[in-house]
Amino acid sequence: APLPTLSINDVSITEGNSGTSNATFTVTLSAASNSNVTVNYGTANGTATSGSDFTNRSGTLTFTPGQLTKTFTVPVIGDTTVEPNETFLVNLTTPTNATIFDGQGVGTIIDNDSVIPTFQFSL
């Protein structure tokens, strides 16, 4: 039988002005397996920078027989800097008992610090 495949979703999160917010990624197995399925995940910089925009995360997900989804979180760091929306990547690597179908998730950090335009009206 062909091995089940692994896919990761894309996530958008509003950064906030302080503290951290968690971007929750979901890794999905295409079909239940009779064996444990493992896959490693790790974050990577896109236009967002680890340490200032998000916190690096890596680890291993284990799907026990019958499980189809696993989640993990990546902390997004809030600030009050006006900046474009930024992205970071999550890569899936070295699966066991499965193959990778969509191995890259994109985390989009939506900036909530807009410049408020001021208008002067003359009557």
- pLDDT tens-digit series, residues 72-97: 999 999 988 888 899 999 999 999 99
Residues 89-117 have a mean pLDDT of 91
DSSP 67: -
pLDDT reading at 51 higher than 80: yes
pLDDT at 82: 85
Per-residue CA distances from 103 to 8, 23, 47, 73 (Å): 6, 17, 19, 16
Phi and psi at 4, nearest 5°, equal: -65, 160
Nearest to 77 by CA among 19, 12, 33: 19
For residue 117, what are the contacts with CB-CB under 8 A and spacing of at least 6? none
**pLDDT at residue 49 above 70?**
yes
* 115 — pLDDT class (breaks 50, 70, 90): low
